Amino acid sequence: MAIVPNLANGQVDKSYCTHNRVSVVEPNGVLTPEYAGEIVLDTGGNAYWKAMGVANDTWVALTPPN
């Protein structure tokens, strides 16, 4: 998917991306989500994580990539 600019304020709309950030560790307790629904690729664990809230302990593991 492409990163699409939000023309209203010139910011990048990350909701169109496969993942929004990359981490080398599991994000739970480490990364604070930028928004609920953010997806992080954990390259160390080869898995995607989704933020269910905006606290750093709200990450839920998704199915690892193929």
Sequence-ordered strand ranges (E) for the chain: 4-5, 12-13, 21-23, 39-42, 47-51, 59-61
Q: Output the tens digit of pLDDT for each of the chain's 66 residues.
A: 444 445 455 555 555 556 678 889 999 999 999 888 889 999 888 899 999 999 999 999 997 654
> Where are the chain's structural domains?
19-66
Predicted confidence at residue 61, as pLDDT, reads 92
CA–CA separation, 47 and 61 (whole Å): 7
Give the position of tokens 């606290």.
Answer: 55
Predicted confidence at residue 35, as pLDDT, reads 87
CA–CA separation, 18 and 45 (whole Å): 17
Question: pTM for this one?
Answer: 0.69
